[in-house]
Structure 1
Amino acid sequence: MGRNVLVTGGTRGIGAAISVAMRDAGHTVIANYAGSEEAAQKFREETGLNAIKWDVGSWEDCQRGIAEAETAAGGPIDVLVNNAGITRDGMFHKMTPEQWADVMRVDLDSLFNMSRPLYEGMRGRGWGRIINISSINGQKGQMGQVNYSAAKAGVIGFTKALAQEGAFKGVTVNCVAPGYIGTDMVAAMPEKVLESIVGGIPVNRLGTPEEIGAAVVYLAGEDAGFMTGSVLSINGGQYMA
C-alpha cells in the first residue's frame, strides 16, 4: 500500500537515496531541501520527484512547507523521515555560539518543528511512521563535533521518548544511525583520511546511501509495526552499541 512520504534534506546524499528508495517501494514522495537550487532541480529531473524548499529549523517555515507538501502529495503525510542535518565542526575550546546554535537548530530542533505538526494527524488516523536519521557520532561521540554529536544523541532520545507516546495509537518512531557512508561529502575527504576511516571499519568499506534507504523502507512499511523506539546501527561494525 502506497503512503505519502516526506523526507527532509531529501535531494542530496543519504536523503536522496531515501527518497528514491521510498519512490521505488510505491510511495508518493515529497523531498524537502534548504540549499542548492541547482542540486534540487537536478534531483527533480533525475527522479521525477517533487522537491520543495523550506528551512526545517524554523517552526513557521515548517508550517508552510508541510501544508505545501500535503497539497502536492494529495493528502496527509503518513511517513516522516527526519534526515536534514548540517555540520559546523570545530574543537570545543574554539567553538562559537553560532556554530553550536546552527547545528542544534537544524539537526535537533527540526525534529520538533517537523514532527509536531504531523503527529496529531497520525494519531487520529491510527497509523504513522516517524523515522529519524542520527549518526554513529551520536552514539560514540567524535572529537571536533561536540555540537553535532550532542544533537545526534538528542535525536536518539527524542526517538525513544516519542515512541512510547505513539505506540498505542499506531504511530511508530524509530531511528537509523549510519556510520561512514560513501556520499560526495565523505568522498571529498583527503585520501589518507579516508583510508584511515575505512581501515577502522571491520567490513573494510564505506556504506552506501542505498543501504540506508533500504532500512528506511523497511521501517516505513506495514511489516515494521512491532518495531518502535529502536536504533538501527548501520556502520559496518565500526561501533557496536
Structure 2
Amino acid sequence: MTQQQYPGRHHLNPSQQQQPQPLHPVAEPQGLPASVRGRALDRAMQVNASHARNAADRIGTRDALGEHALVLFSVDETARPFRLSVATRLDYEEHRGENLPALLQALGQHAWNQIQAAYRTGKRWDPRTPMDGLVLRSDPVTPETEYIGLAISTLDTPTAPWHDLKRSVSSADGLNLSGQGYLYLRDGTAMYFLRAAQTGSGAGQHTIVTNRAVHSIYRPRMDNELPGDPQVWQGLEKLHHVLMSA
C-alpha cells in the first residue's frame, strides 16, 4: 500500500471541481434540514464503529474485511418524521491495503459507465440496489426516497494506515479501535469525524467538524476548514456528483 499523506486541514471549494454533465438533469439542491444532516452523521458514526468491530472479529481470516466502507444516504422527506435510509458497501481486504482516493475514482468511473449504459436503453441505474448498484446492503427504499449524499468509513487513522495497524490487532480489540469518516451531502454539507475507541480513557472523545449546522446526538464543531486528506474530499465530492446524475 502506498503510504498516504494526511495533511492537517482542507478547505472544501466545490466550485473548483470539474464535474460530469448529468444525463438526467436534476433540480438545484435545496438545503437539507439540520436534523437530516445530523441523522446522517449519527448513522455514519455507527457504521464506522460496527466496521471496526467486524474487522477485528475477522482479522487474519480469509473473510477479513477491508479498511474502507462506502455509505449512501437517502431520505423520504414526505414521511413524518422523515425516514433516512442507508446503503453500504464493505469489501474483503486487499493483501497490500487499498488506496482510498484510487478506490473513490474507480467507483466513480464504474458508476458513470453504469449510468451511461442504462441511459442508452432508456432506463435508470440506481446505485443503492444491492449487487447491481454500488452497494452490498441497503435499507428499504420507496419511490419517494431520494439519494442525498454519501460517506466513507475508514479504519485508517491520521497517524497510520490500517494495513500497518492491523498487525497488532486481535479479534478481541474491536472496541479498542478508532476510525475516521468523511461525509458529503447534496447541499454542500461536509462533515469529518475521528471516532474515538469505545472503551478506555479516551472513549467518547470524538473529533467532529462540520461546515453547516447539524442536530446530532454528538457535538460537532463548525468550521469551513475541514480536517482530513484533500484527495479523499475531492474524490468523495466527484463520486457524489456522478451519483446525483443517475
TM-score, normalised by the number of residues in structure 1 = 0.29
Higher helix share: 1
Identify the structure with bigger relative contact order (alpha carbons < 8 Å, sequence gap 6+). Answer: 2
Higher strand share: 2
TM-score, normalised by the number of residues in structure 2 = 0.28
